[in-house]
Amino acid sequence: MTIQQTTASAAAEAVRELLRGHGAVAMAGAAAGNLVSQTAVTAGPVSPVVTMSAAADGTTPGTHASHGSAPVAPPSGMRVPPAAMAPRAKKRNSLLWPGIVVALAASLVLFGGKGGWISNFQYLQLSLVLVYAIAVLGLNLLTGFNGQISLGHGAFFALGAYTAAVLIDRYNVNYLLTLPVAAILCFVAGYLFGLPALRLEGHYLALATFALATAVPQILKYRHIEGLTGGVQGINLVKPDAPFGLPLSPDQWMYVIVLLMAVLMFWIGRNLLDSRPGRAIVAIRDQPLAAITMGIDTARFKATTFGISAVYVGLAGALHAIIFEYVSPDSFRFDLSVAILVGAVVGGIASLPGALIGGAFVQFIEKYADAATKQFTNLVQLPIELEPWTIYGILLIALIYVMPGGVAGGLATLIAKIKRKRSVS
């Protein structure tokens, strides 16, 4: 094999890594591949030369496949290395733990309720954990994977919640049908907000989304739309009963609905990030200039990602309204946007499992921090009275210091260290 053949194969491998979302290193390899291919054409025919299109279609170096056709099999007698089977085995292993978690969550309905181990209030708390996990995942798609900072996702949460509440209370729409309506409205709102926000980056974009989060609660109190939103009094709802005579309480039934929605949204997020548009989203975050050079429409992808992120948060808001049986403007203040962002950071930016951890953090730590501070003060009998949220602030600082990549990133690092020690020994 000549030097040009070897370098062209290496360049094709770099292009494949780029399409998997590996950022600047892969982009440099892709640029090198273009130069080598031009050199090879000038110097004379070199076979096989792996083209950019073949690498983008996922064909291996040394083979060629036209668009829409199956890749050509390797020559007879050539043994496929075991490493070629590694991605497929890795994908199967990566689906093992999510499957176990979903099975355990579903078993809570079958055994927890009948055995009396879990009360209706605890089912409510578990449902809220999943709701906040969906919201954190939506923000993660925008901030963690696309690199756009948002401090205003509480506004989309409010839009989804009020959409469901108004349709149920004012128009007697089935609660399940309100979910797709809330998703569509939130996508439109997110996409339209993302278009002018394309001119903003960094802290300027954060300030624009901050303005959105502070404006929406005031708009919901506007007297000319009080007949629709209920004004400062809000809207009261009734939690739906389980259909078909199922022996489930309303809290248990809503836990089932939220669990199914969480599984669906996490599955969609996983497949989106593994697709070609998902790799383009990550490439915009890592190297926006190189992404533009490769022909990625960054404006369209950024606005669409903003809309998709709003869909997740809006669905979470709609589910929250149905579970909580009440919506009011003061329930969606700027604190909610901060809580969702903190959940994303604590769970792990750019981490799908971290969204579940972030949802639990928002529901339990953030909700009960004030009570924990008071209990700690009484237990230790400190000479001074601690301010509310002291425990929350201390815990947040400790988590960020010990695990700067979030809890999911810290656990992944710990597991990797344990595996390295075992391999060495």
Q: Are residues 234 and 147 in the same domain?
A: yes
- Dihedral (C-alpha) 4, 10, 11, 14: value to the nearest 10 degrees? 180
- Does residue 369 lie within any of the structural domains? no
- Taking the mean position of all CA atoms in its chain, how far away is CA 114? 33
Q: Are 145 and 304 in contact (CB under 8 A)?
A: no
* Interatomic CA distance for residues 66 and 64, integer angstroms: 7
Q: Are residues 166 and 51 in the same domain?
A: no
- Does residue 381 lie within any of the structural domains? no
Q: Are residues 112 and 185 in the same domain?
A: yes
Q: Are residues 179 and 37 in the same domain?
A: no
- Does residue 414 lie within any of the structural domains? no
State the total domains in the chain: 2
- Dihedral (C-alpha) 327, 329, 335, 340: value to the nearest 10 degrees? 50
Spatial CB neighbours of 153, under 8 Å, sequence gap ≥ 6: 135, 138, 139, 142, 209, 213, 309, 310, 313, 337, 340, 341
Q: What pTM was estimated for this model as a whole?
A: 0.77
* Interatomic CA distance for residues 277 and 329, integer angstroms: 36
- Does residue 67 lie within any of the structural domains? no
Which stretches of the chain drop beneath a pLDDT of 50?
1-12, 14-74, 78, 80, 82-86, 89
- SS (HEC) of 148-168: CCCCCHHHHHHHHHHHHHHHH
- Does residue 228 lie within any of the structural domains? yes
- Does residue 415 lie within any of the structural domains? no
pLDDT given for residue 390 in this prediction: 79
Q: Are 283 and 21 in contact (CB under 8 A)?
A: yes
- Does residue 365 lie within any of the structural domains? no
- Residue whose pair of structure tokens reads 């960054």 in the numeric block: 298
Q: Are residues 3 and 127 in the same domain?
A: no
* Interatomic CA distance for residues 16 and 10, integer angstroms: 10
- Does residue 31 lie within any of the structural domains? yes
Domain that holds residue 228: 100-351
Cis, bond preceding 240 (omega within 30 deg of 0):
no
